[in-house]
Amino acid sequence: MIFAAATCAAPALAQQPAASDSAAPAAKKAPKHKQPAGPAAASTADPATAAAGGAKPTLLGQYGDWGAYTASPGGKKVCFAIAKPSSSETTPPGKTRNPSFMFISTRPAEKVSDEVSIIIGYPFKPNSEATVAVGTTSFALYTQQDGAWIKNAAEEANLITAMRGGQNAVLKGMSAKGTHSTDIFSLKGLAQALDRSDQDCK
């Protein structure tokens, strides 16, 4: 699977949905620390469209492994940077799942800036936490269906800072079936993609 045709530099996963761990489309995040995450994984075949809440996204630029986009779902502008993992593995090995991706969105109408969201490609174990680590610093994630967001909203700025200066973000989680997953996201180009997407949503 790849991004829509115009996007394409980020690594693609060749995995297909399977009955064991594949995810149903994610719902919006339930309110936790702030407004719900706007994008829903309506189409895992096109992560950029999913991150845009189903609206047609416009590519602002591709920077390393990250694409910068803008869209206007429901007439409300959203800007975001998005990437697929550079590598993924499961324990037990060989478990197939829907594609995973990470996006960082800014939604001026909701006064939300640089919110980190992850679609994992399978339903998380209910009431479980996931983690994302950048270097030696790890951040707890709140999970719902196949989505994850930072658990402590006050740490989100620290996560963004770490990602801007880091090489990789390592995401770990567990599916409802007990499968453990590790996804590694390259952070090459993230800072530039965020600067570009943030500029469009000033």
Per residue in 84-132, pLDDT (tens digit) is 999 999 999 888 888 899 999 999 999 999 999 999 999 999 989 999 9
Is the residue at 22 inside a domain? Answer: no
Please tell me the number of Cα atoms within 13 Å of 10 on its side-chain side.
Answer: 38
pLDDT tens for each residue of 142-190 = 999 999 999 999 999 999 999 999 999 999 999 999 999 999 999 999 9
Looking at residue 138, which CATH number applies to its domain? 2.60.40.1880
Cα 95 from Cα 71, distance rounded (Å): 33
Give the domain extent around 167. 47-200
Query: Is the bond leading into 39 cis (omega within 30 degrees of zero)?
Result: no
Q: Mapping DSSP to helix (H, G, I), strand (E, B) and coil, where does residue 201 land?
A: coil
Is the residue at 32 inside a domain? Answer: no
| Residue whose tokens read 């993230």 | 190
Is the residue at 4 inside a domain? Answer: no
75 C-beta neighbours (distance < 10 Å), count: 7
Is the residue at 21 inside a domain? Answer: no
Better-scored residue on pLDDT, 24 or 129:
129
Is the residue at 26 inside a domain? Answer: no
Cα 133 from Cα 119, distance rounded (Å): 16
Residues in the chain, overall count: 202
For residue 175, the 8-state DSSP code is B
The pair of three-digit structure tokens given for residue 62, joined into one six-digit string: 């591709």
Report the Cα 176 to chain-centroid distance in Å: 19
Total domains in the chain come to: 1
Is the residue at 96 inside a domain? Answer: yes
Is the residue at 186 inside a domain? Answer: yes
Is the pTM higher than 0.75? The answer reads yes
Split at pLDDT 50, 70, 90, the class of 45 is: low
Is the residue at 16 inside a domain? Answer: no
Q: CB neighbours of 94 closer than 8 A, spacing ≥ 6?
A: none
